Structure 1
Amino acid sequence: MARVTSGLNPYTDAAVVLEGRDLSGQTAIVTGGATGIGIETVRALAGAGAQVTIAVRNREAGEKAAAEINAEQGASRVGVGLVDLSNLASVAAFVEAWGGKPLNMLINNAGVMACPQSYTADDLEMQVGTNHFGHYALGVGLAPALEKAAKAGKTARLVSLSSSGHRRSDVNWDDMNYRTRPYDKWEAYGQSKTANSLFALGFHRRFKDRGITANAVMPGGIMTPLQRHLPREEMIALGWMNAEGVVVDGFKTPAQGASTSVWAAVGDELEGVGGLYLENLAEAEPFVAGGRLGVMPHALNADHAERLWAISETTTGVTP
């Protein structure tokens, strides 16, 4: 098959992706939608007429973001739902509260990166527990809502935010939660981002025949609250900014970083297409050593996706 692309510049703002498109009557959920690329994703979708729920654990932050966007739009298109992705009971409560409403777009945007070693309410390593297992439970729990939208003849898509960080680690099948091996914050982040890509692959395989597609997205390098656990000195050492704290060329604005998520959620080129890893508003090409872009084979390994799905069912108790 030919590589799927949007034909847009990688530094296109999310709102531009939606120019001329009317999303009235469609619904979306964006996890972590109060800050960073999340709020820009919400802003773009609401600007095109969608009803968007910001799914966050901090109600005050969510309501502030919703009020800001609703004031900009002059319409009440954005609401707030509470969910703590590091707590599976909270995820279950969010799914129950959503009820029988149809859902067109679920954008699993929230995440934690390179945090100190810690564990979720369910005793899972914090990064894989939040970034993967929480979003797994949310996505599978809301699958009936997505299917209802698909049956109504409208787009039903799941978007799973991965990262170039997936190159740092495949899933460690023997010790995913760092019970016996030394904790490495970047390896743990990489494992969780690989899991995010594999989840999209597994989800698409199971639900494509019900009209629901799923793709993984690498949004690009963006300075957002995701870096909250990184001291400035470390970001300088990583080459993300210079000694004066100026971000290096190549990083995107939050509005540009949201564009691939928005394209994955609505792009005509992706209608009926899933199981892909997308970056820079296009299907990613294979990673080449020394390069800055591309996807590694372990993040699109179908056997790994099935193995992770089985572990996820057992770990969360959530099944389709």
Structure 2
Amino acid sequence: MSWTATDVPDQTGRTIVVTGANSGIGLEATRELARNGATVIMACRDVDRGERAAADVRRDVTDAYLRVEACDLSNLESIRAFADRLGDEPIDVLINNAGVMAIPRSETADGFETQFGVNHLGHFALTGLVLSNLLAEDGGGGEDDDRGREREQEARIVTVSSSMHERGAIDFDDLHGERSYGPWGSYAQSKLANVLFAYELERRLRTANANAKSVAVHPGYAATNLQVRGPEQYGQRVRKAFSRVLNAVVAQSAEQGALPTLYAATAPDVEGGAYYGPDGIANMRGAPERQASSDRSYDRETARRLWRISRDLTGVEYELPRPKVEDRPA
């Protein structure tokens, strides 16, 4: 498959929420979605950066429908406030894209280890809080926007993971790295949690016969700011410089890295519960294709346990049934 951004179908009338839309893959996905007619709600931790990113998109797409909204995934109060501002506005696609990578140990406003808290728990909470918006019968068109139309396809929740999830394991005895913390181990755990969440959500949506599907993606190796933030926070100048060299020489562009996300959000043949990533060597670059994730990501008991713990930690309940007996492992 040689799917590119030029293959994104017309998105006129669709409303799409993108977390972390002010930079990297989130920004490039926003640009292409707006180019194809979507109303994009840019959910950003820093509104000023979000507005600057929106201005950048509008230089390319002069008629872009964009809304910048504050949504700090490290703060449950901010996530709830964002969901409250949406009210009952229907949305067609939620792209859980924002994240942090391999940073020194710190904690969120709610006491979660930051990588697990932002990458997984923040998106778990956000998805649950806007699920009714996604399952609304009519899609597209925000307030004062006459482009709304009857939803022609199912809603989608796209959760951006990483190939690093393959190295991850869920340490239920030390989820927040209080006894032992490694920046890459914590990152890998959070990215495995992303895939487990996406699959478990799909099983629950299917059990509920909901008009929505959940999909996981990874971007391969894409040149974004993620690679340098860890070294910056550790004060590692050599590693930061080396990361910049790798980004320039080895990595694909953020535009290319956004393709699996765009494919999962818009392509008509996307399957719920699937995992999509680049088709090139070592799955580091290339066009999007369906792939297999790690063996651990298909462990349904781990997924259900993670779901329960995530619900308890965030206080966010999903109005979805547990999977049917036939959807559970023997």
Query: TM-score, normalised on structure 2?
Result: 0.84
Change (3 A) 1:248 1:76: closer
How far did residue 167 of structure 1 move?
2.1
The question of whether the paired residues in 1 share the 8 Å contact of 2:37 and 2:64 is answered with no
Q: Of 2, 13, 16, which residue of structure 2 is paired with 1:8? A: 2
Q: Deviations over 1:118-172 (max 9, x none)?
A: 0001100000000000000001111111101578343300010100111222111
The reply to whether residue 17 of structure 1 matches residue 7 of structure 2 is yes
Partner of 1:291: none
The reply to whether residue 317 of structure 1 matches residue 315 of structure 2 is yes
Partner of 1:155: 154
Partner of 1:185: 183
The question of whether the paired residues in 2 share the 8 Å contact of 1:85 and 1:135 is answered with yes
How far did residue 204 of structure 1 move?
1.0
Letter paired with 1:269: D
How far did residue 232 of structure 1 move?
5.6
Q: Of 272, 277, 282, which residue of structure 1 is paired with 2:289? A: 282
The question of whether the paired residues in 2 share the 8 Å contact of 1:17 and 1:259 is answered with no
Distance in 1, Cα, partners of 2:134 & 2:23 = 25
Name the stretch that deviates more: 37-46 or 145-154: 145-154
Q: Deviations over 1:177-220 (max 9, x none)?
A: 122x2210000000000001111011111223211101111111
Letter paired with 2:160: L
Aligned length: 291
Letter paired with 2:238: E
Partner of 1:198: 196
Change (3 A) 1:45 1:304: same
The question of whether the paired residues in 2 share the 8 Å contact of 1:17 and 1:262 is answered with no
Partner of 2:147: none
How far did residue 278 of structure 1 move?
1.3
CA-atom RMSD in angstroms? 1.8
Change (3 A) 1:246 1:145: closer
Letter paired with 2:172: W
Q: Deviations over 1:31-64 (max 9, x none)?
A: 0001111100000000000000110011111011
Partner of 2:327: none
Partner of 1:164: 163
Unmatched 5+ stretches in structure 2: 140-149, 279-287, 319-330
The question of whether the paired residues in 2 share the 8 Å contact of 1:170 and 1:299 is answered with no
Distance in 1, Cα, partners of 2:30 & 2:244 = 28
Change (3 A) 1:246 1:105: closer
Q: Of 300, 306, 309, which residue of structure 2 is paired with 1:308? A: 306
Distance in 2, Cα, partners of 1:17 & 1:170 = 36
Question: What SS is found at the alignment partner of 2:21?
Answer: coil
Change (3 A) 1:147 1:176: same
Distance in 1, Cα, partners of 2:64 & 2:6 = 22
Q: Of 292, 295, 298, which residue of structure 2 is paired with 1:297? A: 295
Partner of 1:233: 238
How far did residue 66 of structure 1 move?
1.0
Q: Deviations over 1:258-279 (max 9, x none)?
A: 0100000011111xx2112211
Partner of 1:218: 218
Distance in 2, Cα, partners of 1:35 & 1:85 = 15
Distance in 1, Cα, partners of 2:64 & 2:16 = 14
The question of whether the paired residues in 2 share the 8 Å contact of 1:161 and 1:196 is answered with yes
Distance in 2, Cα, partners of 1:226 & 1:31 = 15
Name the stretch that deviates more: 144-153 or 33-42: 144-153
Partner of 2:71: 83
How far did residue 246 of structure 1 move?
6.6
**Equivalences for residues 55-66 of structure 1 within 5 A:** 55-66=43-54
How far did residue 17 of structure 1 move?
3.2
Deviation >4 Å, runs of 4+:
none
Identity %: 38
Distance in 1, Cα, partners of 2:86 & 2:161 = 25
**Equivalences for residues 120-159 of structure 1 within 5 A:** 120-148=108-136, 149=138, 152-159=151-158
Letter paired with 2:101: M
